[in-house]
């Protein structure tokens, strides 16, 4: 599920931080138990995808906000 959420995070942004969170939680549980599971690599990949796409989403949102602030400032100065 973590890998699927990580992949879905490419298209639907809300899934990226969920994958990151669930990946961190699963990783902590695996480390606490000391047992190695066959799907650890899927968990790791999903976690990393979630992390990357969450960071990209945050940067994109910040850039859009900065863009609109610049547009608003230019419009205000022209008015």
Q: What is the mean pLDDT of each run of 10 residues along the chain (79 residues)?
A: 94 95 94 88 95 96 97 91
pLDDT of residue 55: 97
Residue ranges per domain, the chain?
2-78
Name the pTM for this structure: 0.83
According to the model, what pLDDT value does residue 8 have? Answer: 95
- CA distances to 49, 67, 69 from 55, rounded to whole Å, are 10, 18, 21
Report helix, strand or coil for 14: coil
CB atoms within 10 A of CB 23: 24
CA 29 to CA 9: how far, in whole Å? Answer: 23
| pLDDT recorded at residue 35 | 87
**pLDDT the model gives residue 23:** 95
Q: What per-residue confidence (pLDDT) applies to 64?
A: 97
């Amino acid at each position: 599920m973590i890998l699927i959420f990580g992949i879905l995070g490419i298209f639907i942004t809300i899934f990226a931080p969920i994958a990151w969170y669930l990946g961190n939680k699963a990783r902590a549980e695996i480390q606490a138990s000391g047992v190695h599971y066959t799907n650890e690599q899927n968990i790791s990949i999903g976690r990393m995808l979630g992390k990357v796409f969450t960071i990209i989403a945050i940067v994109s949102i910040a850039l859009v906000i900065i863009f609109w602030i610049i547009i608003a400032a230019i419009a205000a100065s022209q008015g």
